[in-house]
Structure 1
Amino acid sequence: MHTYAERAAARPRAAEPVILGIESSCDETAAAVLRGRTILSNVVRSSAAEQAKYGGVVPEIASRAHVDVVDEAVLAAVREAGIEKEEIDAVAVTYGAGLLGALLVGLSFAKSFAFALGVPLIAVNHIRGHMAAAYLADTSLEPPFITLLASGGHTAVLYTKSYTESEILGSTRDDAAGEAFDKAARVLGLPYPGGPNVEKLAREGEANIPFPKMFRGNGFDFSYSGLKTAVINYCHNCAQKGESIPRADVAASFQSAACGVLADSAVEAALQKGCKTVAAGGGVVANGYLRALLAERCARAGIRLVLPEKKYCTDNAAMIAAEGLMQYRAGNFADLTVNACAHIPLGKKGKQ
């Protein structure tokens, strides 16, 4: 008796498949439709305003919000795409990493939707979704190239060998870049979400505080713990002395240190690997200062830079559908027994 995935693999595959993507790993409920690499629709329903009342994401609130809107978001994506449900060739959904309860809502809906249509189900690693967003930014993009991944949970430099295989050249040894931004925001008394508010405050200041340069270990490994500690100590020392904290200057100085090593590492990796292209993905890549820095460093080195629009750097379903497209073409389909996974390690150096 064949499994659902085996039956799906036996189906004829479309040259330009219509992929429905569903994302529910945190506080955004998202759905999108792609035809090949063309975005037909991209719908996001966020509970961030509700979460901000509590200073961060409350898993139970996020899960309940997903339950309330997932069906509406998916139907809106199909409607805005101008297609009928029967035209969908596969359903791609985030199965991890993320908040377990939140993941289960999107995954359960996707299983039912795929089964009802009789189309393949594709289980997508959220992090690979961030990496795949580059294919939407430049539909001519082809491996090999260097990928800079900078999100709330992961920070890494990868050598993208093919559409489905990457080699990890280096990753964070402690906090991810997004976590460091969030912790700096809390020290500075900024509201949720931390990253965008640090960037906003930094525009009012100068990067004139000599925070230590980011530690980079062997190869392209990162460590944000020293920079995070330096920011905390600086603010605490100001408070102990009865001095006002130059919050805007702290934000600008932190941002400069945190982003500088990301841009430098991406360019160095490209030069080392002989790649002519650097792509970037993840929520931190929505940061305007980092985007400008990457553009400047890549231009200086004669390297092409591929950056997704900011709305495709933060959590969205178009990137999930994009990764789904790559897995569809490789014939990597999931069974209906696939389960949500809260933690998916980026992996050791090498194949990802």
Structure 2
Amino acid sequence: MTEEVYLGIDTSCYTTSLFFMDREGHAAAETRRILKVKPGGCGLQQSEMLYQHTRNLPELMEEAARGHSFTVRGIGVSARPRPREDSYMPAFLAGLGFARSLAALYGIPLWQISHQENHLEAALWSANGPDADRFLFLHASGGTTDLLLAEKENAAYRLTEIGGSLDLHAGQFVDRVGVALGLGFPAGPALEQLAEQHTEIPEIPVSVHKTKVSLSGPCTWVLRAIEKAKPETEESPIAAANLAAGVQWGLAETFVRMIRNGAAEHHVKHVILAGGVCANRWIRNHIVEKLAKRGIRVWMPDNHYSGDNASGCAAYAQRQGEGQH
């Protein structure tokens, strides 16, 4: 039986993703693959990202389509990092070229959005809300730590940056600490697992001014603490676990203060979280608990759809294709 679907494609800095969504907005199939980074490495060059995406896309398509008979009605693709004309990153050319080729071959619509909008759409689709015309959107990942005001415009959202990091991104903070602790890259899931063994949570420095934050100072503080704790770390994981828990606390507290200030300034009572860093359960719980005291409701996608994935591109294409507003 043929399934009518919309295809989402996202080729970010560290994940190749495909997602098929049916006409009713339900997941039909998905595949994703994290790009390979050599042990001890802290990232990839854009040329290496492009190479791996180019190899991954056909294999992921074969995997996703296996056992299905799809009729693709339209394609959504992440074409650039942010919804700005000057936003550009070569990694997204792999997905964009793949999407343009398919759209031209089959004569179907192609909708280009940014990677950031893909994260928002994925979160909205997974969390089923908020059902509000104005809300805050926190996007925290390896390449982004942005607080944005989302305002509904027909079948899309206009994003205005109202705050964020002045230096280091949240995911970079996590990865630098994780690698210093001997964890693999990217370090988010492993750092969260390590932090579960903590016996205490050190309150690391937090630097927040209204909706602008700095993470380089807190990161330097933790890296110095790791150097001091190295002899103990080799004998016992407790010191490392405590510092990992401290990183979680510092990021969560930074996000809370930034969101609280932004909500007051822009008179909104809803915030949606997305990005790999926001998949951390401890960070999520801390944000929800603290903001609830201020009457701010937090919307969160399923953890599976918080990090890089193509469901947002598919959801955007489905909404456009079905004429939903």
Q: TM-score, normalised by structure 1?
A: 0.77
Measured at CA, do residues 304 and 209 of structure 1 come closer, stay the same or move farther in structure 2, by a change above 3 Å?
closer
Corresponding residue of 1:28: 15
1:266-322 deviation digits (Å, cap 9, x = unpaired) = 244334433232211111111111111122123333333211111111111102223
1:5-47 deviation digits (Å, cap 9, x = unpaired) = xxxxxxxxxxxx9531111223322111224672323422314
SS of alignment partner, residue 12 of structure 2: coil
Matched, 1:93 2:77: yes
| Letter matched to residue 161 of structure 1 | E
Measured at CA, do residues 330 and 272 of structure 1 come closer, stay the same or move farther in structure 2, by a change above 3 Å?
farther
Corresponding residue of 1:221: 212
Contact in 2 for aligned 1:190/1:198 (Cα 8 Å):
yes
- Judge which range, 172-181 or 250-259, deviates more: 250-259
Stretches of structure 1 lacking an aligned partner (at least 5 in a row): 1-16, 332-352
The whole-number CA distance in structure 2 between the counterparts of 1:304 and 1:93 is 30
Contact in 2 for aligned 1:267/1:278 (Cα 8 Å):
no
Measured at CA, do residues 154 and 58 of structure 1 come closer, stay the same or move farther in structure 2, by a change above 3 Å?
closer
Matched, 1:125 2:114: yes
The whole-number CA distance in structure 1 between the counterparts of 2:283 and 2:7 is 31
Corresponding residue of 1:347: none
**Aligned partner (choices 143, 148, 152) of residue 153 of structure 1:** 143
SS of alignment partner, residue 251 of structure 1: helix
Measured at CA, do residues 27 and 229 of structure 1 come closer, stay the same or move farther in structure 2, by a change above 3 Å?
closer
Measured at CA, do residues 303 and 251 of structure 1 come closer, stay the same or move farther in structure 2, by a change above 3 Å?
same
SS of alignment partner, residue 136 of structure 1: helix
**Aligned partner (choices 132, 138, 160) of residue 127 of structure 2:** 138
| Letter matched to residue 215 of structure 1 | S
| Letter matched to residue 66 of structure 1 | H
| Letter matched to residue 159 of structure 1 | L
Matched, 1:51 2:37: yes
Offset of residue 114 of structure 1: 0.3
SS of alignment partner, residue 248 of structure 2: helix
Percent identical: 27
The whole-number CA distance in structure 2 between the counterparts of 1:36 and 1:220 is 39
Measured at CA, do residues 39 and 96 of structure 1 come closer, stay the same or move farther in structure 2, by a change above 3 Å?
same
Measured at CA, do residues 169 and 67 of structure 1 come closer, stay the same or move farther in structure 2, by a change above 3 Å?
closer
The whole-number CA distance in structure 1 between the counterparts of 2:24 and 2:250 is 35
Contact in 2 for aligned 1:42/1:318 (Cα 8 Å):
no
Contact in 2 for aligned 1:176/1:224 (Cα 8 Å):
yes
Q: TM-score, normalised by structure 2?
A: 0.83
Offset of residue 115 of structure 1: 0.5
Matched, 1:111 2:100: yes
Contact in 1 for aligned 2:164/2:212 (Cα 8 Å):
yes
Offset of residue 140 of structure 1: 4.9
The whole-number CA distance in structure 1 between the counterparts of 2:262 and 2:60 is 39
SS of alignment partner, residue 316 of structure 1: coil
Measured at CA, do residues 21 and 47 of structure 1 come closer, stay the same or move farther in structure 2, by a change above 3 Å?
same
Corresponding residue of 1:266: 259
The whole-number CA distance in structure 2 between the counterparts of 1:53 and 1:265 is 34
1:128-186 deviation digits (Å, cap 9, x = unpaired) = 21122222123353321111111111112222111321222211100111111111112
Measured at CA, do residues 79 and 237 of structure 1 come closer, stay the same or move farther in structure 2, by a change above 3 Å?
closer
The whole-number CA distance in structure 1 between the counterparts of 2:195 and 2:167 is 24
